[in-house]
Amino acid sequence: MIVDLPDTTTSKVSKSLVKIREENGVVALGRVLTLVIATTPGVEEEAIEAANDASREHPMRVIVVSSDPDEPEGVEPRLDAEIRVGGDAGASEVIVLRAHGPVAHDEESLVMALLLPDAPVVTWWPSVAPAVPGTSPLGRIAQRRITDASSQPDPQAALRALVDSYTPGDADFAWTRLTLWRAQLAAVLDQPPYAPVTRVHVTGAVDSPSTTLLAAWLRMQLDAPTGFVLTDVSEGSHGIHGVTLERETGVIELTRDQPGVATLRQPGQPLHDVALPRRNLRDCLADELRRLDPDELYGEVIRSGLALLSEPEAEGATA
């Protein structure tokens, strides 16, 4: 069910939400958190769909704040709202706030009256994020703050900017997308022979900050010289392409040469096909909502691991 509330106030939205619960039996019990999504007009639906899917694992209230940062000055203040419950909201209740004029510049006040009482708050910026999420109006009220460097105009620059803006509780989907790669590489190195890695080489698309983060994580964990190459997206697929680990006993290669499937090559063993799909928004969001405490390893990689890397190598370089 979708209820439209044009030219309204947050007080009226809150009262309407209570009325909908009373008339339709929708309850807030069991909601474990409030997810605030800060986005721009025209791109809300993809984020809402991901949140609805993730809510089946994490029942929550979703508050979408949609405003246009390029809106011309002089626009009359106006707030249009939409409440979605039932089949239109997954296992959550969705409140969409479309703010115009001066109203859009007071995001914190817009959402405060709609937060679930005594429940954690997570803020997610699916597209462009503030320069310092932790000190932004919607970031200050949240225990966890989620950004996505890959959705920024310059993903690699956005990743580097996270170094200076990092606050405990920050997270970025560039790191979340590494979960399957990290698990697979850790499993490979947990098998004999246990020879140390002498060199690491990572390749991926230039629009993939996950490639750079993977190289930084491997540099920290293996304490071995690490190089990485970022290729133009027109010359190959998006995302991470592959990892090469050199040891005295031979070379280990994990290469994603077709969508969703990687080939694992190890000395003295047959080739193995490994499922390594690119994680979608729903998977990344659900993963991040499983923990509401700061991700300390991510913080270490952002603050220390990236500094250990040299500049990307030229295309065609080898490990």
What are the structural domain ranges in the chain?
A: 2-173, 179-278
Instruction: Tell me whether residue 18 is exposed, middle or buried, using C-beta atoms within 10 angstroms of its C-beta: 0 to 12, 13 to 18, 19 or more.
Output: exposed
196 contacts 247 by C-beta, under 8 angstroms: yes
Structure-token pair, residue 106: 């007071």
What pTM did the predictor assign? 0.92
* Residue 22, pLDDT score: 77
Q: Is 303 helix (H, G, I), strand (E, B) or coil?
A: helix
319 contacts 201 by C-beta, under 8 angstroms: yes
Nearest Cα to Cα of residue 170 among 306, 293, 261? 293
Q: Is 150 helix (H, G, I), strand (E, B) or coil?
A: helix
Structure-token pair, residue 188: 């490979």
* Residue 234, pLDDT score: 66
Cα 240 to Cα 172, 214, 266: the distances in Å are: 16, 9, 19
* Residue 235, pLDDT score: 57
Per-residue pLDDT of the chain (319 residues; tens, 9 = 90+): 889 999 999 999 999 988 887 776 655 556 889 999 999 998 899 999 999 999 989 899 999 999 998 888 778 999 999 999 877 667 678 999 999 999 888 999 999 999 999 999 999 999 989 999 999 999 999 999 999 999 999 999 999 999 999 999 999 999 999 999 999 999 999 998 899 999 999 999 999 999 999 999 999 999 999 999 999 876 557 899 999 999 999 999 999 988 889 999 999 999 999 999 989 999 999 999 999 999 999 999 999 999 999 888 756 443 3
305 contacts 73 by C-beta, under 8 angstroms: no
Instruction: Tell me whether residue 137 is exposed, middle or buried, using C-beta atoms within 10 angstroms of its C-beta: 0 to 12, 13 to 18, 19 or more.
Output: middle
* Residue 18, pLDDT score: 86
Distance CA 95, CA 101 (A): 19
* Residue 318, pLDDT score: 39
Distance CA 91, CA 58 (A): 8
The count of residues in the chain is 319
What is the CATH T-level fold of the domain 2-173, as seen in this structure? Rossmann fold (3.40.50)
